[in-house]
Amino acid sequence: MAGPSLMDSLFQRSLDDLIKGLRLHQPTSESTFISKSLDEIRREIKSTDPQTKSTALQKLNYLHSLHGLDMSWAAFHAIEVISSQNFQQKKVGYLAASLSFHSSTDVILLLTNQLRKDLSSNNVFEVSLALECLSMICTVDLARDLTPEIFTLLGSTKSFIKKKAIATVLRIFEKYPDAVRVCFKRLIENLESNDVGIVSAVMGVFCELALKEPKSYLPLAPEFYRILVDSRNNWVLIKVLKVFSKLAILEPRLAKRVVEPICEHMRRSGAKSLVFECVRTILSSLSEYESALKLAVEKVREFLVDDDPNLKYLGLQALSVVSLKHLWAVLENKDLVIKSLSDDDPNIKLEALQLVMAMVSEDNVHEICKVLISYALKSEPAFCNEILGSILSTCCRNVYEIIIDFDWYVSLLGEISRIPHCQNGEEIEKQLIDIGMRVKDVRSELVRVGRELLIDPALLGNPVIHRILSAAAWVSGEYVELSKNPFELMEALLQPRTILLPPSIRAIYVQSAFKVLIFCLYSYLFPDEAVASSPSLPVDLDPGVTSSISPKEFSESSDVVVTEPLADREMDEGFNPRDISQSLEDVSVGNGGDTVIAHEQTSCSATLKKDYFTQESIVKLLDLVERTLCPLMGTHEVEIQERVGNIRGLTELIKQELPEFLVHKERNVEGVKVKALEIVKLMHDAFLEELGPVSTSAQERVPIPEGLMLMENLGDLEGICGDIQLPIPSQFCFGMPHSGGRESTSLFNQQTDEESETSYECTSLLAEHRKRHGLYYLPSEKLETISNACPPAKDPQQSDDLNDDGQDLVKLTEQSLVPKKKPNRAKPRPVVVKLDEVDGITIAVSKPESKDYLISGAVREVLLGNEVSSAQHKLPDKSSNKRREKDKLDIDQPSDTKENLANVGKSETSTSKKSKHHIPGKERKHKSSRKNADEREDVQKDKTKSGHHNPRHKARQRADDNVDVIAQTPVIPDFLL
Provide the binding-site residues for another protein, judged by CB under 8 A: 16, 19, 58, 61-62, 65-66, 68, 70, 87-88, 91-92, 95, 102-103, 125, 128, 131-132, 135-136, 160, 163-164, 166-168, 170-171, 197, 200-201, 204-205, 207-208, 211, 233-235, 238, 242, 272-273, 276-277, 280, 309-310, 312-314, 344-348
CB of 250 to another protein, least distance (A): 17
Per-residue buried b or exposed e for 157-194, using 16+ beta carbons within 10 Å of the residue's own CB: eebebbbbbbbbbbbbbbbbbbbbbbbbbbbbbbbebe
Q: Looking at beta carbons only, is 135 or 756 nearer to another protein?
A: 135
DSSP 252-279: HHHHHHHHHHHHHHHHH---HHHHHHHH
H or E stretch at 287: none
Q: How far is the CB of 491 from another protein (least distance, A)?
A: 49
In the bound state with another protein, the residue whose beta carbon lies nearer, of 133 and 939, is: 133
CB 254, min distance to another protein, A: 19
The residue (of 167 and 831) whose beta carbon lies closer to another protein is 167
Q: Which is nearer to another protein, 200 or 333 (CB)?
A: 200
What is the spatial distance between Cα 66 and Cα 450, in angstroms, rounded to a whole number?
59
CB nearer to another protein: pick between 303 and 522: 303
Let me know: does 857 contact 212? Beta carbons within 8 Å: no
CB of 279 to another protein, least distance (A): 11
User: What is the nearest approach in angstroms of another protein to the Cβ of residue 168?
Assistant: 7
AA letter at 289:
Y
What CA–CA distances, in Å, run from 125 to 96, 128, 166? 17, 5, 16
Which amino acid appears at position 763 of this protein?
Answer: T
CB of 722 to another protein, least distance (A): 22
Which of 167/419 has CB closer to another protein? 167
Burial status of residue 973 (CB atoms within 10 A of its CB: 0-12, 13-18, 19 or more): exposed
Q: Taking the complex as a whole, how short is the minimal distance between the CB of residue 130 and another protein, in angstroms?
A: 12
Closest approach of another protein to the CB of residue 138, in Å = 9
672: nearest Cα among 685, 662, 683, 686:
662
Q: Cβ of residue 448: shortest distance to another protein, in angstroms?
A: 42
Residue 170 vs 676, nearer CB to another protein:
170
Give 699's Cβ-side CA count (13 Å radius): 20
Give the closest residue to 810 by CA, choosing from 801, 821, 822, 802: 802
The residue among 58 and 909 lying less far from another protein, judged by its C-beta, is 58
Nearer to another protein, 272 or 430 (CB): 272
Q: Are 479 and 489 in contact (CB under 8 A)?
A: no
- As a whole number of angstroms, the distance between CA 811 and CA 50 comes to 84
- Rounded-to-5 percentages of helix, strand, coil across the chain: 80, 0, 20
Smallest separation (angstroms) from another protein to the CB of 911: 28
Evaluated on CA atoms 434, 435, 439, 440, the torsion sign reads negative
Which CB atom, from 136 or from 402, has the smaller least distance to another protein? 136
Nearest-approach distance from CB 488 to another protein, in angstroms: 50
- Taking the least distance from each CB to another protein, the nearer of 200 and 498 is 200
Nearer to another protein, 273 or 697 (CB): 273
Q: Which of 692, 712, 698 is nearest to 824 (CA)?
A: 712
User: What's the rounded Cα separation, in Å, for the pair 717 and 707?
Assistant: 17
Q: How far is the CB of 211 from another protein (least distance, A)?
A: 6
| Gap between the terminal Cα atoms of the chain | 74
Type of residue numbered 343: D
**Rounded distance between C-alpha atoms, residue 379 and residue 373, angstroms:** 10
Q: How far apart are CA 626 and CA 463, in angstroms?
A: 27
Give the residue with the Cβ less far from another protein, 190 or 558: 190
Residues 6+ away with beta carbon under 8 Å from 212: 848, 851, 852, 855, 856
CB of 874 to another protein, least distance (A): 27
Helical residues (DSSP H) of 497-595, grouped into ranges = 503-525, 527-533, 543-562, 569-575, 577-590
